[in-house]
């Protein structure tokens, strides 16, 4: 078994026994990436010289000592490029570490490479990257999901032990499902976003992509916690997210929301998720039906709120402070042309839509109303959580789709997140984990089951996920590369 196929926990065991060293882990990754990434294109940049220097003096007694971690290219790592997969940030070098990066470093981890994504995290397929799409490791003609498609693909292809991504409407969970790995979106406020290039600030959250549920807990333990540099990170005690792993599921109640098991879902996805529910019953959990009645409005509400916030957040890319600047003598023309040349079509579409819903005369009809419906969606979850410990549903309505299938139909692309968006609007935590395979055109494609947990109950959520993972073993399947 090659080193790169190991989980974080397994790699750490090798370090401790002396069977492998952090430098060997970096060497193995470098070789694997050199052999594969030309075909997968999960990375936009990587820096093995710095990584090796850190590995040489790694302290393996630290919580993530010597463990290399790949980073979505929307999180600042001092001295490295950070492009958000946009031409507008080409040539920009980060001047500071995001809080999650400082925390990783303090725990001994080694950030070593930057993963591809949809430009400014806007998309569900990684086809909106200005630097070319990422291939799904299970079938190169298909997308890895998005927006964190690079992070998901490199973990699934054993080109990384684990990666960080960001999730605004599903960008961790949906690509994790389509690539066959574990993806956790922590509760809003659990992880500091200081140093994350903001997309929609009331929704964005950073979280891990891993090969196992335990690893997702290990990474969450390191990156979680109140940060004075991000006023939305809350001062809630950081519980050990791995504390409940291995406990049985007696007395655990899971809710199947009737609005999430609808016609239109791929029949193989529907069957796999229903089978997962049956499996949970065999593990001692009780499955009940719940209702999240405002589900049908989630996608519309999201595309009003997320675009409104994006239009404000992206105003800072004006050719003055960062990246691309159009060559002209006239100041106003410089702003306009820098943005026109630097942003891709999906980003422009969202800035225009967001500016529209915030403009006077339309604000009340769109933005304010969306905020009210958001409250109703949040209350749906609060009510459901009075009955159940977690909600169980598909992560994505279908397995990985073909590249090019959706790219000229934004509405079709937006529906890829139909099952993940409400969790962000409600601000709670959710995880996707492998639950089987679909066979499409003779290719095996992973399917993900999503568990949505109560706010701040990541430990409970991972306990529930882990029990399934360990008793099924889907997570051990790897693409033949």
Q: Which residues are catalytic?
A: 72, 147, 171
Q: Identify which of residues 220 and 338 has a Cβ nearer to ligand GLN in the complex.
A: 220
| Min CB(121)–ligand GLN separation in Å | 4
| Min CB(374)–ligand GLN separation in Å | 15
CB under 8 Å to 191, separation ≥6 — which residues?
100, 205, 206, 207, 220, 223, 224, 225, 233
List, in sequence order, every residue forming a beta bridge with 390; answer none if it has no partner.
Answer: 254, 453
Q: Identify which of residues 373 and 415 has a Cβ nearer to ligand GLN in the complex.
A: 415
Note whether 121 binds ligand GLN by CB under 6 A: yes
Q: Identify which of residues 105 and 114 has a Cβ nearer to ligand GLN in the complex.
A: 114
Size of interface with ligand GLN, in residues (CB under 6 A): 13
- Region near ligand GLN per CB under 6 A, out of 118-126, 130-138, 155-163, 390-398: 118-126
| Min CB(313)–ligand GLN separation in Å | 12
- Please give the Cα distance from 277 to 436 (Å, whole number): 13
Binding mask 22-61 for ligand GLN (x = CB under 6 A): ----------------------------------------
- Region near ligand GLN per CB under 6 A, out of 3-11, 42-50, 116-124, 398-406: 116-124
Of the candidates 129, 132, 212, 223, the residue with the CA atom closest to the CA atom of residue 176: 212
Note whether 119 binds ligand GLN by CB under 6 A: no
Among 6, 64, 109, 122, binds ligand GLN (CB under 6 A): 122
Q: What is the DSSP letter of 187?
A: P
Q: Identify which of residues 125 and 220 has a Cβ nearer to ligand GLN in the complex.
A: 125
| Min CB(164)–ligand GLN separation in Å | 13
Note whether 401 binds ligand GLN by CB under 6 A: no
429-440 and 205-210 as β-strands: parallel, antiparallel, unpaired? unpaired
Binding mask 158-177 for ligand GLN (x = CB under 6 A): ---------xxxxx------
Give the angle 272-274-278 at the CA atoms, nearest 5°.
110
CB 166 within 8 A of CB 206: yes
- Region near ligand GLN per CB under 6 A, out of 99-107, 117-125, 152-160, 265-273: 117-125
| Min CB(146)–ligand GLN separation in Å | 6
Block residue for tokens 């609808």: 262
Note whether 124 binds ligand GLN by CB under 6 A: yes
Among 8, 58, 162, 306, binds ligand GLN (CB under 6 A): 306
| Min CB(199)–ligand GLN separation in Å | 6
Q: Identify which of residues 221 and 424 has a Cβ nearer to ligand GLN in the complex.
A: 424
Burial of 84 (0-12, 13-18, 19+ CB in 10 A): buried
Q: Encoding tokens for residue 35?
A: 């052999």
Binding mask 73-112 for ligand GLN (x = CB under 6 A): ----------------------------------------
Block residue for tokens 């490479």: 113
In 398-454, which ranges are E strands? 429-440, 443-453
Note whether 428 binds ligand GLN by CB under 6 A: no
Among 66, 123, 180, 436, binds ligand GLN (CB under 6 A): 123
Q: What is the DSSP letter of 235?
A: -
CB 65 within 8 A of CB 108: yes
Of the candidates 242, 200, 175, 221, the residue with the CA atom closest to the CA atom of residue 401: 175
- Please give the Cα distance from 273 to 474 (Å, whole number): 13
List, as one string, the DSSP characters of 348-398.
HHHHHHHHHHHSTTTIIIIIIHHHHHHHHHHHHHHHHHHH-SEEEEESSSS
CB closest to ligand GLN, residue no:
171
- Please give the Cα distance from 173 to 160 (Å, whole number): 17
Note whether 199 binds ligand GLN by CB under 6 A: yes
Of the candidates 126, 129, 154, 141, the residue with the CA atom closest to the CA atom of residue 33: 154
**CA dist 163 → 43, 110, 268, 329, 363 (Å):** 11, 11, 28, 43, 38
Note whether 144 binds ligand GLN by CB under 6 A: no
Interacting residues with ligand GLN (CB under 6 A)? 121-124, 147, 167-171, 199, 306, 417
């Amino acid at each position: 078994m090659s080193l790169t196929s190991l989980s974080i926990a397994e790699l750490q065991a090798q370090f401790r026994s002396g069977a492998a060293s952090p430098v060997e882990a970096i060497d193995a990754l470098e070789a694997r990436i050199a052999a594969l990434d030309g075909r997968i294109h999960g990375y936009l940049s990587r820096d093995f010289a710095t990584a090796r220097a850190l590995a040489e003096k790694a302290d393996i007694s630290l919580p993530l000592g010597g463990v290399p971690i790949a980073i979505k290219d929307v999180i600042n790592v001092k001295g490295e490029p950070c492009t958000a997969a946009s031409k507008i940030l080409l040539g920009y070098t980060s001047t500071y570490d995001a809080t999650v990066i400082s925390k990783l470093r303090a725990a001994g981890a080694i950030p070593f490479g930057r993963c591809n994504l949809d430009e400014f995290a806007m998309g569900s397929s990684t086809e909106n990257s200005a630097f070319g799409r990422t291939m799904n490791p299970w079938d190169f003609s298909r997308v890895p999901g998005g927006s964190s498609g690079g992070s998901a693909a490199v973990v699934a292809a054993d080109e990384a032990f684990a990666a960080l991504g960001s999730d605004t409407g599903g960008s961790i969970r949906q690509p994790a499902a389509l690539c066959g790995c574990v993806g956790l979106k922590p509760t809003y406020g659990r992880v500091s976003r200081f140093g994350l290039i903001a997309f929609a600030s009331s929704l964005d959250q950073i979280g891990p992509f891993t090969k196992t549920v335990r690893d997702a807990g290990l990474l969450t333990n390191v990156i979680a916690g109140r940060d004075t540099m991000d006023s939305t990170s809350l001062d809630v005690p950081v519980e050990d997210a791995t504390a409940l792993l291995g406990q049985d599921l007696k007395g655990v109640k899971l809710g199947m929301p009737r609005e999430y098991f609808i016609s239109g879902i791929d029949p193989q996805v529907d069957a796999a998720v229903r089978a997962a529910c049956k499996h949970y019953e065999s593990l001692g959990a009780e499955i009940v039906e719940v209702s999240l009645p405002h589900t049908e409005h989630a996608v519309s509400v999201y595309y009003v709120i997320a675009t409104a916030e994006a239009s404000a957040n992206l105003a800072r890319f004006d050719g003055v402070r960062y990246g691309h600047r159009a060559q002209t003598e006239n100041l106003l023309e410089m702003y306009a042309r820098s943005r026109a040349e630097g942003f891709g079509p999906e980003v422009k579409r969202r800035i225009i839509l967001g500016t529209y819903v915030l403009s006077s005369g339309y604000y009340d009809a769109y933005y304010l109303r969306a905020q009210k419906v958001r409250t109703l969606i949040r209350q749906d979850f609060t009510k459901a959580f009075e009955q159940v410990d977690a909600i169980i549903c598909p992560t994505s309505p279908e397995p990985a789709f073909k590249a090019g299938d959706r790219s000229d139909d934004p509405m079709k692309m937006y529906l890829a997140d139909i099952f993940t968006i409400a969790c962000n609007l409600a601000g709670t935590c959710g995880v996707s984990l492998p639950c089987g395979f679909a066979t499409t055109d003779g290719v095996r494609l992973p399917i993900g089951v999503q568990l949505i947990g109560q706010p701040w109950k990541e430990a409970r959520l991972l306990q529930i996920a882990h029990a399934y993972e360990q008793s099924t073993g889907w997570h051990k399947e790897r693409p033949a590369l």
